[in-house]
Structure 1
Amino acid sequence: MKKMLKIMAMLFVIATVVFAAGCAEQGEEEAAEGTAEESAPVEETASAEVNASGEDMPTYIVGTEAQFPPFEIVDSRGKVVGFDVDLLNAIAEDQGFKVQYLDQDFAGLIPALQTGNIDIIASGMTITEEREQEVDFSEPYITAGLALAVPINNEEIQSVDDLQGKTVAVQTGSTGFMKAEELKEAGGIAEIKDFPHVNEAIEELKIGGADVMINDLPVTEAFIAAQPDVIKIVGEPLNSESYGFAVRTGNTELLQKINTGLENVKASGQYDELLTNLPKYMEE
C-alpha cells in the first residue's frame, strides 16, 4: 500500500511539472507573438499630389537644349530657366500635371521623344513639315524667323545675296542649319560649320571662324541686346516660322492638355507678362 502511494505521488509530481512547462511554453509563444505584432513595420501609404479633379498629378519628362537663351538656359544655380520653361510651367499648373526638365543636345531631342525617354520637347523648336512627320506639335506659342548675323564691323554682307563663297555658322539640327544646306546646294555658300549649341556658333562668328551666322531671330536679338557691340543683324528675315511644344505622334491626351493650358494662359494675361521678361534670361 505504501509503495502504491509513493508511485501515485511521483506521477502527480511529474504531471504537475509537465503542465507547468506547457503553460510556460505557451506563455512564451504568446508573448513572442505579441512582441512580433508590436514590432512589425506599419505599411505607410504615400500621399500623392492631386490636381483640381482629384486625380494623381502625372509627371512628364521635358527634353530641352538649355543653351538657347532667352528660351532655355541654365542659371547660376544649375537650374533650367527661360521663356519656354516659364510658359510650360504655367501650362502644367493650369492643367494639373508636373514637369521635370532634362538638358540634352538639340539634335537628340526628337529621337529621345520617339523612344520614350522624354514626353515633351520644349526647346524653341520650329514647326516644320519635316518635323511634323516625326512628332505632333502643339499650337504655335511664338512667331520667329531666321536672321543673318555678322560681326559688328562687317560691311560686306548686307543680305542673303552676299553669301557667295562665305562660311556660315549654324546650330546642328536647327532650321538655320537646314536653310544653310539649302543655300549651299544652290551654290550660294562655300562651307557650313555646325555646332551643338547656338552660343558656340556665335563664338565662331566672333573669332572670325565664320563670315555669317544663320539663327533664329529672337535668339539673335536677345544676344545683341545683352552684348550690343559684338554682332549685328543684316537684311530681312529669311523666313517666317513658329515655335511649338512637341509630343510623341498620337499622344492626343497630352497634346490636348498643352493646347488647352496654352489657351488659358494666354487668356489670363500671364503669357503677355512672360513675354516682357524675355530680356532677363540673357543676364543669367
Structure 2
Amino acid sequence: MKRIFKTVLTGLTILALALVAVGCTGKEEAKSPAQDTGKKKLVAAADATFAPFEFTDSSGKYVGFDLDLIAAIAEEMGYELEFQSIAFDGIIPALQSSQIDCAATAMTITPERSKAVNFSDPYYKAGQIVVVKTENNDIKGVNDLKGKTIAVQSGTTGAMEAEKATDKKKVIYFTGADQALQELKNGAANAVIIDYPVAAYFIQQGNKDVKLVGDIMSAEEYGIAVPKDKEQILADVNAGLKKIKENGKYAEIYKKWFGEEPRS
C-alpha cells in the first residue's frame, strides 16, 4: 500500500508540474505574437513584354528598368512591393478598378490618359521610331508608310502614330511589343512603330535583320500611373522618385539598363 500510494503521489506531482509547464508556455506564447514587418504594401504592375523596361529573363524572372525603379521607390518610402504582370491595354482598367496601386510600365503621359489616371512626375524621356527589315530601302521614315502594313503594340503611342501614318486597316495590333517586332522579322509587316529605346535594345540583343529609320517622333515623357483616388500613393511615389534622383540610385539604375548617364 505504501508503494502504491507513493506511486500515485509521484504521478500526481508529475501531472501538476506538467500543468504548470503548459500554463507557462501559454503565457510565453501570448507575449510573442507573430512578427509584423509594419510595412505598407504597394501593388505595382507592368506589361512584362517591353524590354529593357520590363520583361522576363531566361530564368522566368521579371526584370527591367521600370521594375528596378519602382522597387527603389518602394524601398525608399517604406513599402513592401508586390508586382503583377498585366497586358498593356489592361493597365488603365486595372488602375481604375483599384486592382493595383500603380503602374510603372513605360507609359507616356498624355492628356487622354490623364483623364483616367494620375501620373507621377516624369521619369524618362522617349519618342517613337520606325523599324524595318535591314534589306528594306524603300521606307526611310514615317512619311513612307502610307499604304504599308504596320505592326504595333495595342494601346501605345506607337499605335496612335501608325494610325496617322497609314490606313487603319493596315495596322496590326499585338498585346506585346515583342510580338509586333517578330511580325516584322517574319515578313508579315512592312514596319513597326515603337519606342526608340525598346527598338534599340531589340537590335542590341542580336536582331541585326532589322534597322531603325527616320527621326525620333513625338518627344514623350513616361510617368508612373496611379488611380485617381489614391492621392497618398501618388505623393509617396513622387517623393520616392525625388529621393532616388537625389541620392544617385536613379542614375545607377539608368546606367545599368541604358549604358549611359540619364538625359536631362
TM-score, normalised on structure 1?
Answer: 0.79
**Amino acid of the structure 2 residue aligned with 1:211:** N
Q: 2:208 aligns with which of 195, 213, 229?
A: 229
Q: CA deviation at 1:104?
A: 1.7
Q: Which ranges of structure 1 fall in alignment gaps of 5 or more residues?
A: 1-26, 50-55
Q: Which residue of 1 aligns with 2:130?
A: 148
1:104 aligns with 2:92: no
Residues 78-97 of structure 1: matches in 2 within 5 Å? Answer: 78-97=60-79
Q: Which residue of 2 aligns with 1:246?
A: 225
Using the aligned pairs only, state the percent identity: 38
Q: Which residue of 1 aligns with 2:193?
A: 214
1:47 aligns with 2:35: yes
Secondary structure of the equivalent of 1:201? helix
Q: 1:271 aligns with which of 250, 253, 259?
A: 250
Q: 2:163 aligns with which of 162, 167, 181?
A: 181
Q: CA deviation at 1:190?
A: 5.4
1:201 aligns with 2:183: no
- Counterpart contact for 2:226–2:233, Cα < 8 Å: yes
Q: CA deviation at 1:250?
A: 3.1
Q: Which ranges of structure 2 fall in alignment gaps of 5 or more residues?
A: 1-11, 260-264
Q: CA deviation at 1:151?
A: 0.6
Structure 1: how far apart are the matches of 2:227 and 2:98? 8
- Counterpart contact for 2:158–2:194, Cα < 8 Å: yes
Q: Which residue of 2 aligns with 1:158?
A: 140
Secondary structure of the equivalent of 2:122? coil
Structure 2: how far apart are the matches of 1:93 and 1:39? 37
Q: CA deviation at 1:276?
A: 1.3
Give RMSD over aligned pairs.
Answer: 2.3
Structure 2: how far apart are the matches of 1:279 and 1:253? 31
Structure 1: how far apart are the matches of 2:116 and 2:164? 21
**Amino acid of the structure 2 residue aligned with 1:84:** D
Please list the CA deviations of residues 135-194 of structure 1 after superposition, one character each: whole Å capped at 9, or x if unmatched: 11000100001111101111000111111210000001111112222334xx5x650101
Q: Which residue of 1 aligns with 2:47?
A: 65
- Counterpart contact for 1:169–1:212, Cα < 8 Å: yes
**Amino acid of the structure 2 residue aligned with 1:48:** D
Count of residues in correspondence between the two structures: 245
**Amino acid of the structure 1 residue aligned with 2:101:** D
1:118 aligns with 2:100: yes
Q: CA deviation at 1:246?
A: 0.8
Q: CA deviation at 1:210?
A: 0.3
Larger Rg computed on CA atoms: 1
**Amino acid of the structure 2 residue aligned with 1:71:** F
- Counterpart contact for 2:43–2:81, Cα < 8 Å: yes
Q: 1:131 aligns with which of 96, 103, 113?
A: 113
TM-score, normalised on structure 2?
Answer: 0.85
Please list the CA deviations of residues 87-123 of structure 1 after superposition, one character each: whole Å capped at 9, or x if unmatched: 1111111111121111121111111111121111011
Q: CA deviation at 1:67?
A: 1.1
